[in-house]
A and B are shown apart, each in its own frame.
Chain A
Amino acid sequence: MIDTSITLRLEGIKKAYGIGTKAETEVLHGIDLILKRGEFCALIGPSGSGKSTLLNIIGLLDNATSGKLFLTGVATEGLDDKAITKLRATAIGFVFQFHNLLPAFTAIENVMLPLIAANGYPNDEMRQRAIELIDKVELTQWGEHLTNDLSGGQQQRTAIARALVMNPALVLADEPTGNLDTKSADTVFDLMRTVSKTSGTTFLIVTHDPRLAMRCDRIIELIDGRIDSDKPNITNMNKTQ
Chain B
Amino acid sequence: MNSLLPFEWILATRFMREGFLQTLFIIAGVALGVAVIVFMSSLINGLQSSIIRRTLDYQAQIIVLPPEEVARSLRETETNQANSAILIQPRAQRLRSVDQWQKVRELALNIKGVTVVSPIVSGAGFVLRADANRAVAITGIEPETYLQLIALKAKIIAGKPELTTSDIVIGTELAKDLGVWLNDKIILQTASGASVTLIVCGIFDYGNKGQNERAVYVALRTAQSLLNLPGGATSVEINLNDPYQAQIVGEQIQTQTGLKVDSWITTNKELFTALYGQKITFFVIRLFVGLTAALGIASVLVVSVVQKSKEIGILRATGTTRIQILRIFLLQGALFGLIGSIFGSAASWGLLIAWRNLAKNPDGTPFFVLSFDPMYFVYAGLGAMLVGIISAVFPAQRAARLDPAVAIRG
A interface, CB within 8 angstroms of B:
52, 56, 59, 61-62, 81-82, 85-86, 88-90, 93-94, 96, 98-105, 109, 112-114, 116-124, 127, 162, 166
A69→B131 CA distance, assembly (Å) = 116
A99→B317 CA distance, assembly (Å) = 12
B404 close to A166 (CB less than 8 A): no
Instruction: Choose from A81, A90, A93, A124 the contact partner of B322 (Cβ within 8 Å).
Output: A81
| A122-B314 CB under 8 A given contacts A56-B405, A82-B321, A166-B319 | no
A81, closest chain B residue (CB): B322
* A120 / chain B contacts, CB cutoff of 8 Å: 6-7
* B7 / chain A contacts, CB cutoff of 8 Å: 116-117, 119-122
A103→B310 CA distance, assembly (Å) = 11
| A118-B14 CB under 8 A given contacts A62-B405, A96-B408 | no
B206 within 8 A of A: no
B15 within 8 A of A: yes
A98→B408 CA distance, assembly (Å) = 8
What is the CB-to-nearest-CB distance from B331 to chain A, in angstroms, rounded to a whole number? Answer: 14
A113→B15 CA distance, assembly (Å) = 14
Instruction: Choose from B6, B15, B310 the contact partner of A99 (Cβ within 8 Å).
Output: B310
A101→B311 CA distance, assembly (Å) = 7
* B408 / chain A contacts, CB cutoff of 8 Å: 61, 96, 99
What is the CB-to-nearest-CB distance from B3 to chain A, in angstroms, rounded to a whole number? Answer: 5
What is the CB-to-nearest-CB distance from B310 to chain A, in angstroms, rounded to a whole number? Answer: 4
| Cross-chain pairs A/B with CB under 8 angstroms, 13 sampled | A61-B317, A61-B408, A62-B405, A85-B322, A88-B319, A94-B318, A101-B314, A104-B15, A105-B14, A117-B318, A119-B7, A122-B2, A123-B3
A89→B314 CA distance, assembly (Å) = 11
What is the CB-to-nearest-CB distance from B48 to chain A, in angstroms, rounded to a whole number? Answer: 48
B1 close to A122 (CB less than 8 A): yes
What is the CB-to-nearest-CB distance from A52 to chain B, in angstroms, rounded to a whole number? Answer: 7
What is the CB-to-nearest-CB distance from B407 to chain A, in angstroms, rounded to a whole number? Answer: 9
A117 close to B324 (CB less than 8 A): yes
Main secondary structure of the interface of B (DSSP, over half): helix
* B315 / chain A contacts, CB cutoff of 8 Å: 102, 113, 117
A104 close to B14 (CB less than 8 A): yes
A85 close to B311 (CB less than 8 A): no
What is the CB-to-nearest-CB distance from A177 to chain B, in angstroms, rounded to a whole number? Answer: 17
* B324 / chain A contacts, CB cutoff of 8 Å: 117
B318 close to A114 (CB less than 8 A): yes
B8, closest chain A residue (CB): A120
A105→B14 CA distance, assembly (Å) = 8
B10 within 8 A of A: yes
B318 close to A113 (CB less than 8 A): yes
A109 close to B311 (CB less than 8 A): no
Top 3 A-B residue pairs of the complex, sorted by shortest distance between their CB atoms: A89-B319, A61-B405, A104-B14
B8-27 contact mask (Cβ, 8 Å, vs A): 1 or 0:
00100011011000000000
What is the CB-to-nearest-CB distance from B102 to chain A, in angstroms, rounded to a whole number? Answer: 72
Taking A59-B405, A102-B314 as given, write out 18 further A-B residue pairs in contact, using a Cβ cutoff of 8 Å, ordered by the A residue number.
Answer: A61-B404, A61-B405, A82-B321, A85-B319, A85-B320, A88-B317, A89-B319, A94-B314, A101-B314, A104-B14, A116-B7, A118-B319, A120-B7, A121-B7, A122-B7, A122-B10, A124-B3, A166-B319
